[in-house]
Amino acid sequence: MLNLSDFFGPLNISNLLIFFSFVACCEIIGYRPAKLFIGKIPYFLRGAIWLLGMGIVVFAYFLSHYFVPYSFPTILFVLIVLLVPTVKYYIGEKGLKSLSDFLRDNKLPLFIVLLVLPQVFVKSSQPPYVWDEMSYHYISPYTLYFEKVWDTGVSLYLNLPRLLDTAFISLFSLTKTYSVARLLQFSIFVTFLLTAYSFLKQRFGIAMAIAFFVMTFFYRENFLLWSTFGYVDIGTTSFVMIGFISFLDYFLDRNSDSLKFSFAFFGMAIGSKYSALTQFVSFLLIAAFLVLLRKEALILKSKKLLAGVALSLVLGGYWYVKNLIVTGNPIYPILFGCRLENCETISFGYTTPFIISNIQAIYSRIFLDDKFLQTMLIVSIVLSLTLGLKKVKNMVLFILLFVAIEIILIRNITGYDGRYFYHWATFSILILVAPLAALKEVKIFQLLWNKIKKKAYHEI
């Protein structure tokens, strides 16, 4: 007899060893495709390469389940097969050294993360207690032992993009506990924050970088708590934001490799949740406009760009190819129905419609009705547009354009629900801290910061 209580194991040494071994394998597997098929890895993305490896691992695991049941330790064979052509390259290119250098340069945010790890471990070790976790994000013991292969023709939930869900299942098949899956999403969230911190520190200064990190990490919406749920919204938002930051790097510096990485991470986002589709389309429209405006049409003929687009399909777009083949509708069950006998559709009646009368309510919801933050966002927009810092002004205008296009795309499909639009909250935090970029030019602030940092490291 199967008992759910047998699968509520907490994080322990053996589970942590399995988890970190999985992450290490993903890091090695992702490094070679990133360099060979996309291009030079921007420094701020160095800590996020393991996510690309995870996407490749999940794709292989997804394909394997058409032939092999979950009860078989398929993930071990997938990892071994993918490690064979990548581990020698990783060692030869000194991948571990570049990663350790990146982590050493970001010791301060990592120290902040360490402070909350005990709480994260406790929350991760809790049994599933949010409805959608056991509805379809996590696998049940019964499914683990008795499902033979994919049965995507009858279940609404199995026709949704399931990149993160499948990653959860791969770990669950090894550990028989949900706690490791929770830890995986928290790690994705931290990876996004480290990526953003590194990018902002390089581009806009340490003050803006640390302010964004701290405000996002301890945001009132409690991203930390959501990152330990079985919901995939935080993981999806993290992919969207890494893709957005990569695109922002291209926008500010015309780094074509960053544009290619954007395709990869947005591919992972749409492979995780349908809500990322409009963000992906917003990115595509703005990217096409910039390429044409800058007369960089040659980039469209780049073999590496085509490889980047192909990698976005491997990292998440294949869910839509599968849906097209199985149901006749690549975005089923959102729009257009399907050709199956019993077609279910997702209702968004619980969301707040994007109409004029709801603008204030939606704006308030982003900040959890915090009037001070609502006011400061307006002030920060005005300051960013008038301070005379071109990079800051362009970034804020770029964010506003991105959101405006997304609203136009989605307003007749669904309404506002907080967890579907967490990227708006992170955009808002980015705008709130944007005026701090002016401090990059103030040398006395930098000297003071160096003294504080030196003292903190000495105490550690």
* CA–CA dist 276, 65 (Å, integer): 25
Q: Does residue 47 sit in helix, strand or coil?
A: helix
The predicted pLDDT at position 431 comes to 94
On the question of pLDDT at 276 being above 80, the answer is yes
How far is CA 48 from each of CA 75, 242, 304, 354, rounded to the nearest angstrom? 21, 8, 19, 34
pLDDT tens readout for residues 14-39: 999 999 999 999 999 999 888 877 77
User: Which of 46-50, 94-98, 132-136 has the largest mean confidence?
Assistant: 46-50
pLDDT tens readout for residues 209-233: 999 999 999 887 788 888 888 888 9
Segment 419-442 shows an average pLDDT of 87
The predicted pLDDT at position 414 comes to 80
Per-residue pLDDT band for 299 (boundaries 50, 70, 90) equals low
Question: Whole-angstrom distance between the N-terminal and C-terminal Cα of the chain?
Answer: 50
Q: Does residue 342 sit in helix, strand or coil?
A: coil
Q: Hey, which residues does 352 pair with through a beta bridge?
A: 416
Q: Report the amino acid identity of residue 397.
A: L
On the question of pLDDT at 103 being above 90, the answer is yes
The predicted pLDDT at position 104 comes to 92
pLDDT tens readout for residues 39-65: 788 999 999 999 999 999 999 999 998
Per-residue pLDDT band for 312 (boundaries 50, 70, 90) equals confident
* CA–CA dist 373, 387 (Å, integer): 20
Query: Nearest-5° angle of CA 369, CA 371, CA 375?
Result: 130
On the question of pLDDT at 387 being above 90, the answer is no
Q: Quick one: which of 194, 210, 262, 114 has its CA closest to 433?
A: 210
| Average pLDDT over the chain, rounded to an integer | 84
On the question of pLDDT at 446 being above 60, the answer is no
Classify burial at 150, counting beta carbons within 10 Å of its beta carbon; exposed 0-12, middle 13-18, buried 19 or more. middle
Predicted TM-score (pTM) of the model is: 0.91
How far is CA 37 from each of CA 55, 164, 303, rounded to the nearest angstrom? 15, 23, 9
* CA–CA dist 347, 365 (Å, integer): 21
Half-sphere exposure of 311 (CA within 13 A, CB side): 30
Phi and psi based region of residue 85 (left: phi greater than 0; alpha: psi -120 to 50; beta: remaining)? alpha
Check whether the bond before 161 is cis (ω within 30° of 0): no
pLDDT tens readout for residues 241-273: 999 999 999 888 877 788 888 989 999 999 999
Per-residue pLDDT band for 426 (boundaries 50, 70, 90) equals very high
How far is CA 159 from each of CA 170, 171, 272, 312, 342, rounded to the nearest angstrom? 18, 21, 12, 19, 13
* CA–CA dist 421, 452 (Å, integer): 36
The predicted pLDDT at position 96 comes to 92
DSSP 353: P
The predicted pLDDT at position 48 comes to 95
Residues near 301 by beta carbon (within 8 Å), at least 6 away in sequence: none
DSSP 34: I
* CA–CA dist 34, 411 (Å, integer): 35
CB contact at 8 A, 330 and 324: yes
